Structure 1
Amino acid sequence: YSVMMSARQGPIYMVYDAGLQEAQLDHDVEMPPPGAVTVPTGPAADPVALEKAADTLAAANRVAIIADFAARPPHGWNHVVELAETLGASVWDVGSRLNFPSDHPLNLTADFDGCYDGVDVVLTLDIADFEKPTHVRDISTRTVVSKVQANATWIDIGFTDIEISKWSMDYARPYYAQQRMTADPVTTAPQLTKLLKERIAKTSGLREKIAKRTEEIGKRHRENRAKWSKQAQEHWDQKPMTVPRLALEVWETIKGEDWVLTTGDLGSWGKKLWNFDRPYCHAGRELGTGTQIGLSLGVALANKGTGRLVVDLQPDGDLMFDAGSLWIAAKYKIPMLIVMFNNRAYYNDWNHQIVLAKTRGTDPSRAHIGMDLYDPDPDFAGLAKSMGWYSEGPFENADDLKPALKRAIEQVKQGKPALIDAVCDRRNHG
């Protein structure tokens, strides 16, 4: 338990031989004393290194914060928000945990140019891959271009150097930060904020400088939200519905509830259009590889009995790999709402095949082979019903979606799992 719960937290899988399980206990097992501490405090940053980081950040022209696992416990969210507001820094939330409010004026996630324009200091908080949130990629040529200026100073606080994995794809290229601290951002962020506030109070003109860039970033944030809202209105009556329309229909239905989104958010349209304003309302980004339904069941089980509405925006291809998991929710009466993100395709691969075909001059009309999920169309509503769920669909017309969602939510409030199958166009995927 101590290893599992120590920062950075992770699962423990314990295996006992059958003989040990069957053996009778032949002696008393002494339990820890009641006052024993079961989980140690998180590692703190070196004080000298932290002072240096505060000096660098206070002297910066503009700062960007990149957060990945920085807000694992709920209070970590508050620390990231306070640090960003103290600095007037743009924030990119990588999303392995929900680190920052989606509609906060300093949030410039998904806006490479806005987030990193003029940035001369980048502060990373427990990130595993520094390239993905800072580089634009061309999937046809497998090349990436950094959006952070080459002479920027990088400050890293986290567990990158002590989290070893046998899976090489857990890592990007080596991360050469000029200042690095192996420390828990949950404990380090408030310490850094305190040091920065001391410097701001003593440095003439710094408070005004921070206020100015805060205003500039906030303006860019509002422009982004307005742009995304306008984009979501495009092709409004299209059938099958667009992905942004699906995101809006779900949001308009659940926004008055105490809701929790399990993992995926419709290729970032959830973060662009919804208001993620509480630390518990999103468990973190999707992982792919058929894992979303399992992760979602875990989130729903953890929230059982809280009165919260747990929502899974479930990709169809992902569910095809573990459809039997639906039975578990019905068997153990785990209330949750699944809204299918059904584009009748393994579209991540399909889109890649289209890009490659165009690059190579081959026929893109054949890109669907081995990638489509139609003829026959999987009946996810029928599948869910056979597993003991309330279900409706498929719906290609978004006008029919909201009434169905409301009916499904009433079932969830009675303690049942419910699934609504929404069929989407592929053009607005992500």
Structure 2
Amino acid sequence: MHDAIKGHSQPGGGTETDSPADLERPDDVGASPAHFGSDVIARTLRSLDIPYIALNPGSSYRGLHDSIVNYLGNTAPQMLLCLHEEHAVAIAHGYAKVTGKPMLAAVHSNVGLMHATMAVFNAWCDRVPLVLLGATGPIDAAKRRPFIDWLHTAKDQGLLVRHYTKWDDQPASVAAAQESLLRATWISQTEPQGPVYINLDSEIQESVLQSDPGEPDPRRFMPATVPGLNESDVSEAAKLLRNAKRPVILMGRVSRKDRDWLNRRALVDTLDARVVTHKKVGSVYPTDHETHAGAPSTFLEAESKQAIREADVILSLYWPDLAGTVKVACGRVDPDKKIISISTDHYIHNAWSMDHQAHPAVDLFMPGDPDRLVERLLEIYEVPKRGEVMDEMPAPVQRPESGDPDHLTMAELAACVREKTIARKPTLLHVPTSWNSADWHFRHPMDYIGSDGGGGIGGGPGIAVGAALALLDSDRLPLALVGDGDFLMGATALWTAVHYRIPLLMVIANNQSFYNDEVHQAKIAKARQRPVQNKWIGQRMTDPEIALCKIAEAQGALGLGPARSWDQLADLLDTGLAHVDAGGVAVIDARVIPGYTKSVEDGMAGQIAFVPERR
């Protein structure tokens, strides 16, 4: 059934609804004292003021599951059932990208955690807060059920994700679990933000309380921790920037607040600076402003390279890859120019993951909040306070020339989607690797929330659902553009959106290939003087063609397409938008010509090893 906007009967007395909060209401639940360990844990979760917990159910946390339903009444937090553990974590990830606050997710035992690991890594690389709950069979071996409890019990379960979480714990009592949840939620939100993992012993959950440990006030256990700025460093930075003739600001992981956006605009105007932004981190500055150098990209555009190469002073505002960016632009990581950097990222670098990137050369480093530095610089320069009203009008749409009559170019896809959604204030929740940021300009901090973090295919749909959930009460249109491979690996995340009435428009840029690897195979073939025309083998998803619309329909969404031309896509967008306006989920299959921008192809393929001469 395509009509996801119509409520359906729920087991236990549910009726037709329009909101997640009205769904899955338990029967015969009234106020009662806590009787079990999991009741106290559930009550502590409620005190954290986190509205949702995304989960795939499992017996290892059946005690907590019961307490959330029959003790809390399935509210605050409300369960969001997911069809895969990776989706549960991805939904929490997307929610945090919009709100800046952690959401809860829960996964079953060691097996569920193993399913979830890629999504945890995405959240870690994206530096977003997330509280992941897990569980294990009884630690006391004498209390384990034969066979299954042994399979689902690990000696050190947190080890599975320890290298890419900020903190993990396995509390040994109900009181310790309370403290662990408070500490985990706090740590996840301290800069740099990231996921945390709590493993709950099933015996603790199901134990009968001998006494109630009470209910602590979370506000007293979560103090602010952003390092204060050293005023002498701020003064030195202000002097270097004021005296610069060609300053460049690399705007990285900064806030989505309107005030901070306006402050960044004011600083650029004051310094007469150029700006470079990153495709991974979202909308942080108007990308079609005359001061913006090149389009946002994971791999630098030519204009961005030139601006950095010509700069005499670079200000890095928590840029995700300062050393790599400077090296690509200037040919070395320590060029003859002054570099100022503010970040807290160094606090969580470890020996396992290389997501911290190369070590940058800097002349002035400040651990702290980049937006607070911008604010202080404006005070030093005595720049009048900017108003709190955002006056950024959407960028106009220009229709590109048509290409292949049977396939859309990515530029056509972007322009058509933009033209149809421009009046609805779309928020881009995800974009595919083939996306050219020059085709869609951002003029507001909520125009684009950034990418998946770790580059794990399959995260896009779940992140989009979580972000759409966070946008439920806003005036923004949740819009996700995903690749076909990403969709196929994460499609069942859509069921959660349909079931919980989370409106979402998803457009699949379907080139019927894992084209990323076609680029790599072409590069290797050229370097080895072998046939480039064979690059498609082991990459193309044809014969048979995959019916992406039917996969969407199987989750209860409205599946539309395939669209092969501007007019076809425009018509399907009208239908899809009407469905989303009414509260549904619509998915459009848009057939596109495979291809990347030159900077993406060059950056993606990278260096090729030495090729010996042919004999």
TM-score (norm 2): 0.60
The one-character-per-residue Cα deviations of 1:394-429 (angstroms, maximum 9, x if unpaired) are 111222111110110110111110001101001356
- Cα shift at 1:313: 0.3
The one-character-per-residue Cα deviations of 1:342-393 (angstroms, maximum 9, x if unpaired) are 1111111111111221121101111112211111211111110121001211
Instruction: Label 1:188 to 1:26 Cα distance change in 2 as closer, same or farther (>3 A).
Output: farther
Counterpart in 2 of 1:121?
313
SS of 1:356's equivalent?
helix
- Cα shift at 1:87: 1.2
Decide which of 274, 297, 303 is 2:440's aligned counterpart: 274
Decide which of 372, 385, 392 is 1:187's aligned counterpart: 372
Contact 1:70 1:126 in 2 (8 A): yes
Decide which of 86, 89, 102 is 2:273's aligned counterpart: 89
* Alignment-mate amino acid for residue 184 of structure 1: D
* Alignment-mate amino acid for residue 200 of structure 2: Y
Q: Give the Cα–Cα distance (whole angstroms) in 2 for the partners of residues 197 and 313 of structure 1.
A: 42
Instruction: Label 1:236 to 1:366 Cα distance change in 2 as closer, same or farther (>3 A).
Output: closer
Q: Structure 1 residue 385 and structure 2 residue 576: aligned?
A: no
SS of 1:246's equivalent?
helix
Rg comparison, structure with higher value: 2
Q: Structure 1 residue 68 and structure 2 residue 234: aligned?
A: no
Counterpart in 1 of 2:427?
260
* Alignment-mate amino acid for residue 422 of structure 2: K
Contact 2:323 2:333 in 1 (8 A): no
Counterpart in 2 of 1:207?
none
Q: Give the Cα–Cα distance (whole angstroms) in 1 for the partners of residues 254 and 228 of structure 2.
A: 14
* Alignment-mate amino acid for residue 283 of structure 1: I
Counterpart in 1 of 2:470?
302
* Alignment-mate amino acid for residue 554 of structure 2: S
Counterpart in 1 of 2:211?
27
Higher alpha-carbon deviation: 164-173 or 344-353: 164-173
Counterpart in 2 of 1:370?
538
Q: Give the Cα–Cα distance (whole angstroms) in 1 for the partners of residues 491 and 331 of structure 2.
A: 39
Structure 2 gaps, min length 5: 1-184, 296-302, 385-394, 601-615
SS of 2:481's equivalent?
strand
Contact 1:243 1:266 in 2 (8 A): no
Higher alpha-carbon deviation: 4-13 or 247-256: 4-13
- Cα shift at 1:114: 4.6
Instruction: Label 1:246 to 1:135 Cα distance change in 2 as closer, same or farther (>3 A).
Output: farther
Q: Give the Cα–Cα distance (whole angstroms) in 1 for the partners of residues 234 and 540 of structure 2.
A: 52
Q: Which runs of 4+ in 1 moved over 6 A?
A: none
Q: Structure 1 residue 98 and structure 2 residue 283: aligned?
A: yes
Higher alpha-carbon deviation: 89-98 or 342-351: 89-98
Q: Give the Cα–Cα distance (whole angstroms) in 1 for the partners of residues 345 and 433 of structure 2.
A: 28
TM-score (norm 1): 0.84
Equivalent residues in 2 for 1:335-346, closer than 5 Å: 335-346=503-514
Contact 1:76 1:99 in 2 (8 A): no
Contact 1:72 1:97 in 2 (8 A): no
- Cα shift at 1:100: 1.1
Higher alpha-carbon deviation: 124-133 or 289-298: 124-133
Equivalent residues in 2 for 1:215-234, closer than 5 Å: 233-234=400-401
Q: Structure 1 residue 55 and structure 2 residue 239: aligned?
A: yes
Equivalent residues in 2 for 1:273-352, closer than 5 Å: 273-287=439-453, 288-290=455-457, 291-352=459-520
Identity of aligned residues (%): 27
Contact 1:2 1:40 in 2 (8 A): no
Counterpart in 2 of 1:239?
406
